[in-house]
Structure 1
Amino acid sequence: MNACKNNFLIKQLEKNRNVFVGSKPLITLLLVIQLLLSSCALMSSSPNAEMLSNPSAGLNGSFEIIQGGTLAKTAALSPKFLFGLTYDYTSSNLPVNWYFFTQTALNAKKDKRVESDFDILIDSTDAIEGSKSVKFVVRACDSLQWKSPGLFQEFEVASPGMYEVSFWVKNKGCNFEATISAITLKGGPPSEAKFIRSKDTLVNWTKYTVQRDMPIGLDRIRLDLILKSPGTFQLDDFRIVRLDQPKASKVL
């Protein structure tokens, strides 16, 4: 996955940052050039997304904690990211600690194939948990991943273990796809994914659940949710619960 590639690239840069002091500056220079060229290739395929970070908010799976007027961290690998300047876009009124494929982020790629028109709103009148839910009002969008509205995040969990991932949805018109992946950033076994795909009209809040076995070597659960067609889509109460314990317990 791109996150794994990005992590590897950064580790390689850190590993080789002091080699210029040694006796092989030319080899090191060539290595750095190769890494930068690789970063450009990754940048073309990496998602542009915005995240407003608030460490004290935890998972924020019910989207209750909103933040505005703050610099947003980009998830795409870019030259700014490589050199430590990870704040690219300005955003406002987003639930914290989630990466959103926003209109601003998608337009930042300057890709003529991305023809989208949508808003990401906070609905304070309709929620399944707490007092808020996140709402996507999509007037036009691309059907390709990372070129359409949506969100993603990764969550570190203990392995081995059995987990249940759940979230609640309302939908009118959107063809949506949720990918729940078991991954690692440590060079372990290949990632495994399960999918939820639907274009059903859901007038009432509807719960979706996926059970995920996390074998040894896979230590992160990742959710990618994208909207592939116009409509109105609401999301609330995302949670991860560990099942293989005497009493099921909420992890995040």
Structure 2
Amino acid sequence: MTSPGTAPAPGVPAVRRRLTAEVWIVLGLSLGQSAVYSLVSIAARLTAATPLASQSTTLNPSRSARPYLDLVYQLLNIGFALMPVVLALFLLSANGRSAVRRIGLDLGRPWRDLATGFGLAALIGLPGLGLYILGRAIGITVEVQASALGAAWWTVPVLILSALQNALLEEVVAVGYLSERLRDLRWRPVAIVVASALLRGTYHLYQGIGPFVGNVVMGLVFAEWYRRRRRVMPLVIAHTLLDVVAFVGYALLPPEVREALGIR
């Protein structure tokens, strides 16, 4: 019985409705929003007069011609992009349990997580590069320019921070948070893994069909690994490594090498 003046505990249907609304809100403020924009973007690209293979996209654009103002904009963009991560962790800790421990974002196993992260990066990175090259060759992938930042002293540190931001946002929200909440909603394990993978693929659709397929495969591997291990930290490490190699490597490659590889 409840004491006078105390609201009764919500029933299971009410809890499920609230959790479902919560998931839509978190995704609507983060990767779900990106997925919707990507769907519109790929529709626009496929219906444009220019073939998909002749189109391009830039992952880290410059935001000002003035270097120090550009730096401020870059840092603000990275900081605010991490707010959905903070929100997801806050919501997962509502029952008093540490959210970082719940999804394995803690530093309790640094060497094991680091080794696993490197292994996952190698497993995903090389086939991913091959799929990108294949996609460019058959015309289903746009040209991806990993960075358009100038050669300032802060370019490489900002690209590393951008890689870490991407990794935290995608792995915490699309894998850790989404898996936990769908598990709370009693989704089947296979459905959780597929939903996470399709979300990852969809918000990369603006890069073309090839990256969609590649990211769905990456999403299946990462979501299944999380389902078995319940640790997101190795996924964050792997994703950060992949993006650091792509972003920093692109920025440091001489123009003639980029041209030889078919990138600009």
Question: Is TM > 0.5 for Structure 1 vs Structure 2?
Answer: no
If each structure's strand is expressed as a fraction of its own residues, which one has the higher value? 1
Task: Flag the structure with more relative contact order, 1 or 2, with Cα contacts below 8 A and sequence separation at least 6.
Answer: 2
Instruction: Compute the TM-score of the two structures, normalised by the length of structure 2.
Output: 0.23
